[in-house]
Amino acid sequence: MTAEDLYRIAFLEDPQLSPDGTKVAYVVKSIDESRQYRSHLFVQGIEQDAPVQWTYGSVLDTALRWSPDGRSLAFVSNRSGQPQIWLFSAEGGEPRQLTTCRHGARQPVWSPDGTRILFSTRLSVDERADEEAPPSTDREASASAGDDRRVKRPIVIDRLKYKSDESGFFDGKYRHLAVLDLITGEVRQITEGPYDHDGGAWSPDGTMIAFTANRTDDPDRTLIADVYVVSIRTDEWRRLTNGTGVFSVPSWSPDGSRIACIGHEKEYAGATLKRIWTIDLVSGGMTCVTRDWDVHVGDVVIGDMRSDHADRPVLWTPDGTGVYFLASDRGSTGVYHAGLDGSVSSVAGGERHVYAVTMDRERKTAVLAASDPLNPGDLYRLSLTTGVERRLTRINQALLDEIVLSRPEPLAFEAEDGWQIHGWIMKPVGWREGETYPLILEIHGGPHMMYGYTFFHEMQMLASRGYAVLFTNPRGSHGYGQRFVDACRGDYGGKDYRDLMNAVDYAVKTFAFIDESRMGVTGGSYGGFMTNWIVGQTNRFRAAVTQRSISNWLSFYGVSDIGYFFAADEIGANLYDNPDKLWQHSPLRHAAQVETPLLILHGERDYRCPIEQAEQFYAALKHQDKAPVRLVRFPDANHELSRSGDPVLRVERLRLIADWFDQYVKAGAEERRNEYAKG
């Protein structure tokens, strides 16, 4: 597998089973000849082996949703210049545009009777959802980006959270919900005010809409999300949660008496396990259904094939006694069932990454979107009555038939203090008994995410270049319970660092094919922080590549889009009450000890870990004339470069990583062995 193989990989996303369970619609994203992302819609019969492609061209078509009667499909497309909602007949034909909202429309949700569509749109406080887009579309505005006659305006900032890695600088617009009447064409705005509203869901009788929002006086500081319901008939609002937690994706029970949602009450800040809650609409009482289950609800598997880790609504059983959902445990994400009595059971497990699930109305059939270490992702039909699975798609088979991949082998070891640490080792492609190979240690971001049984292009590329690859879930990772995921808070660079070094010690001792004199280390985000920390603590690695990293918690506090609360939550200190602790955990403090050749990769539009973090570390090393150091800046790239960034930049990033390790880990191997032999 090469870096350039990224151009050939198809990404299967967002499957939607028809209400009667006979067809599944899904999105396939790919990279075209111009090296741009395109996404198209496909429909496939459950008993068929071949899909039918429904859309073509230089477009991004997403969010396909079946009407309740299965006769129509709504979807979001940018074919008119910006994302709007379009409609297909299930019999085929040309789609027609439904919305012409000024700033686009997204997230269509059909009403139970199929006569209306709930959707999300962005609006300034003085704009309305029924205002049409002006003649000049966003696409035309983008085309004129090089026009020097454009008026440049200053950005006025007067709020604490004024930027986002996803959407850039705050432009005065908020996410609002509106309803389109398919008979009259009328658009009715449901929410208003200077607040974001998400996760809209219809009640079974179509008279109420549930959603989540932070409508406190200062949303930038409170950092909560409440569940609300609003009556379509009376416009009466009701808040269902108490303003102390973070909840998302409300889902109505079949009889409309309860709402299920996913969330937590911030007991461990951002390291709190998400759980399933139900709210009784009559009594108002909340119950945590999975309170006694020490597993995180949701998909938190780290990979480089997709970047969407948004919560997905639970799927109620027809009788309202339980729900189906995704959860992550020991590197696997699967489908589970939770009864309202607190019982939890596995529905579709195994050593794989189930990243989406859809079910028919009667909950007899499910379709899973799943990846594993040898497959970027395909669809599988699951009978919920017999448990029998059948594979439906093979969208990357042509590529997979041409290449040789390395299958990760799980490992587990005991850390210095007795904690159990789980991970994987990948042998290099072409591995032979008796030969030794260089090793690359990969460190995931988050830190509250997890490596798992999913396809990882970067790791497969390194294995194809002759490297063994070691990746683990040190304490702080999800997948091993609440105590484990909380264990790194306030201790960054402490026992989490020791877990990683213990992993290397274990691998070197256990696998004779690893050449300890030729090792490299890399990671992004928290993994970039840890890479920076490692090269300031030890010289055991021959080279390092740090990506979208953190080097200085003091400055991170004020420049990151999450810094003002993340530093306090994770490091346990603020700039104004304990700056010494922030500095104590900053890799920049150890820059004078760095002797490892270091490649620094960073996106210029990264607002999560801003590029000044890379610039500081680079300047400190370069000024001291330390070991070889190089900074590479990626124009217009944000924190998601490796997962959803510009395809050309993604490929170039992989080339840079491989070339750096080839130069400093593989080269001069004999000299390095002699150094180790001398102690």
Are 588 and 529 in contact, with CB atoms under 8 Å apart?
Answer: no
Residue with tokens 């299965």: 70
Of the chain, the end-to-end C-alpha distance in Å amounts to: 36
Are 183 and 115 in contact, with CB atoms under 8 Å apart?
Answer: yes
Strand-strand pairing, 598-603 and 629-634: parallel
Are 558 and 576 in contact, with CB atoms under 8 Å apart?
Answer: no
CA pair distance 482, 271, nearest whole angstrom: 8
Are 323 and 345 in contact, with CB atoms under 8 Å apart?
Answer: no
In this prediction, residue 135 carries a pLDDT of: 63
CA pair distance 475, 483, nearest whole angstrom: 9
Domain limits, the chain: 404-551+586-674
CATH topology (fold) of 404-551+586-674: Rossmann fold (3.40.50)
Token code pair at residue 278: 């139900």
In this prediction, residue 287 carries a pLDDT of: 98
In this prediction, residue 139 carries a pLDDT of: 47
Token code pair at residue 330: 């020991």
Q: Is 463 helix (H, G, I), strand (E, B) or coil?
A: helix
Q: Which residues in the chain show pLDDT less than 70?
A: 135-150, 668-679
Residue 337 exposure: Cα atoms within 13 Å on the Cβ side: 15
In this prediction, residue 309 carries a pLDDT of: 80
Are 354 and 368 in contact, with CB atoms under 8 Å apart?
Answer: yes
Region of 508 on the Ramachandran plot (φ > 0 left; ψ -120 to 50 alpha; else beta): alpha
Are 543 and 668 in contact, with CB atoms under 8 Å apart?
Answer: no
Are 308 and 296 in contact, with CB atoms under 8 Å apart?
Answer: no
pTM for this entry: 0.95
In this prediction, residue 308 carries a pLDDT of: 78
Residues with catalytic annotation?
Answer: 525, 639
pLDDT in tens, 35-92: 999 999 999 999 988 999 999 999 999 999 999 999 999 999 999 999 999 999 998 8
Token code pair at residue 125: 């406080």
Strand-strand pairing, 208-213 and 468-473: unpaired
Exposure letters 98-117 (e unless 16+ CB within 10 A, then b)? bbbbbbbbbbbbbbeebebb
In this prediction, residue 671 carries a pLDDT of: 56
pLDDT in tens, 657-671: 999 999 999 975 555
Please report which residue ranges of 384-447 form alpha helices under DSSP H: 397-400
SS3 content of the chain, % helix, strand, coil (to 5): 20, 35, 45
Cis ω before 204 (30° cut-off from 0): no
pLDDT in tens, 463-506: 999 999 999 999 999 999 999 999 999 999 999 999 999 999 99
In this prediction, residue 673 carries a pLDDT of: 45
